[in-house]
Structure 1
Amino acid sequence: MRRALAACLLVLALAGCLGAITDDGSRTTERIEVTVVEVTDGDTVEVAYPNGTRETVRLLGVDTPEVHVENDPAEYEGVPDTEAGRACLREWGNRSSAFARSELAGEEVTLVFDDEADRRGGYGRLLAYVDYDGGRFNRALVEQGYARLYDTTFADRDDYAAAEERARENDTGLWTCADP
């Protein structure tokens, strides 16, 4: 009985030291339940913790076209640096924001932090994955062509790069803006 208890405690201790493994295989150490109270754009949301504290969250690993400032087509491989290219990206920025609002606004979600990524970005925003009833929202943005991979260090980077490549090959979402 003591050996079994010791073995269980050892497993629990190791699991805590190594972090949790999510359903998609990524390693994380912290998950926080929050409510999305505002969608700023396709890759930025404001959340409220159960105690009422609010925080701005930048979705880790993704970049949706801008809606509040001009887009730089050079950031989106194959999109021409023309008025038509910028207009197309602006349209997909609006669509990305609308998708985020329809999926996340007012919803309880789970922020998932990545051991390989910084906890905060350059503007002081939290960097996190957002898990919701539909799965991992960050990944959905890339898979459905609402976002590109934001090339930084994070555990799921290779998976997101592959998802972007598939979206580009299939002219999914914003990748319809690219030259043939």
Structure 2
Amino acid sequence: MPTTAPLLSRPRRARRPGKPTAHKTRYVRPRAGGGRQKSKNRKQPAQILLGIVFIVALVAFFDQASIQPAKLLSVSDGDTLRVSLDGREVKVRLYGIDTPEYKQPYGSAASEALRGLVANREIEVKERDKDRYGRLVAIVYADGENVNRQLVESGYAWWYRDHATFNVPLALAEFSARRNDRGLWQDEDPTPPWEWRSKRR
């Protein structure tokens, strides 16, 4: 039986610099000057930062432009008042807070607290929404101070989480009132007004 001739292995050829092997990607010779050239379309960090600053300034401008002067007419309860806005009588519901109802503990005290914050002061409102009753939901300012936050911080209102979920200033104001037992937080377990209302429907 004839024997098979042994397989002759080819001599390995020396690899020249820059020549690709079978398992590597295609070799690309570097351009003159070294390194990969930067894309001309890539924005510089300074330009990006300038754009961000411009957008923030624009948002702040329009946010301030939405504040309108108003004249106080009356206080309805702890979180509602009537104002004259552009010659129209408007009922305003304070945004992001909820005060005790009249029949709840601190209900009348909350109304007196609101009256004390807005009476004989320069009033401004910043509209946020309109509720199902047609009331203007707004942040109210008295002599430049945020009345909504002041009511919460003094312990006469709750931070209304369902309607102002990510409002950090109101959250911190309530935390401060709770910690220092201000207003309604002097009670051991005060009932939020939304729970009080739901039990009476």
TM-score bucket of the superposed structures, by smaller chain:
0.5 to 0.7
**Could you tell me which amino acid in structure 1 is paired with residue 169 of structure 2?**
D
Mapping of 1:19-58 within 5 angstroms? Answer: 19-20=60-61, 27=63, 30-51=66-87, 53-58=88-93
2:77 partner amino acid = D
User: SS of the counterpart of 2:115?
Assistant: helix
Supply the distance in 2 between the matched residues of 1:155 and 1:132 (Cα, whole angstroms). Answer: 24
Asked if residue 113 in structure 1 is aligned to residue 127 in structure 2, the reply is: yes
Unaligned stretches of 5+ residues in structure 1:
1-9, 22-26, 72-88
1:145 corresponds to 2:175: no
Q: Is the 8 A contact 2:74 2:83 kept in 1?
A: yes
1:40 & 1:93 partners in 2: Cα distance?
A: 12
Structure 2: stretches of 5+ with no match in the other structure: 1-50, 191-201
Give the strand-richer structure, 1 or 2. Answer: 1
1:111·1:129 contact (CA, 8 Å) conserved in 2? yes
**Does the 8 Å CA contact 1:42/1:99 hold for their aligned counterparts?**
yes
2:104 matches 1:104? no
Residue 135 of structure 2 corresponds to which residue in structure 1?
Answer: 125
**Of residues 165, 184, 189 in structure 2, which corresponds to 1:174?**
184
- 2:136 is the counterpart of 1:95: no
Tell me by how many angstroms 1:164 deviates: 0.5
Larger Rg: 2
TM-score by length of structure 2 reads 0.60
Q: What TM-score results when the alignment is normalised by the length of structure 1?
A: 0.66
**Deviation of residue 108 (structure 1)?**
3.1
Contact map agreement 2:122 2:143 (CA 8 A) in 1? no
Q: In the comparison of the two structures, how many residue pairs are matched?
A: 139
Give per-residue Cα distances to partners, 1:78-123, cap 9 Å, x unaligned. xxxxxxxxxxx2xx11111112222223543010134xxxx11122
Alpha-carbon contact 2:152-2:177 (below 8 Å) kept: yes
Cα distance in 2 between the residues matched to 1:151 and 1:122: 18
Conserved? CA contact 1:37–1:105, under 8 Å: no
User: Of residues 49, 59, 83 in structure 2, which corresponds to 1:18?
Assistant: 59
SS in 2 for 1:178: coil
Change (3 A) 1:131 1:56: same
* Percentage of identical aligned residues: 35
- Which SS does the other structure have where 2:130 is aligned? coil
Q: Distance in 2 between matches of 1:34 and 1:155?
A: 27
**What is the Cα deviation at residue 156 of structure 1?**
6.5
Mean Cα displacement is larger for which, 132-141 or 153-162?
153-162
**Structure 1 Cα separation of the partners of residues 141 and 189 of structure 2:** 33
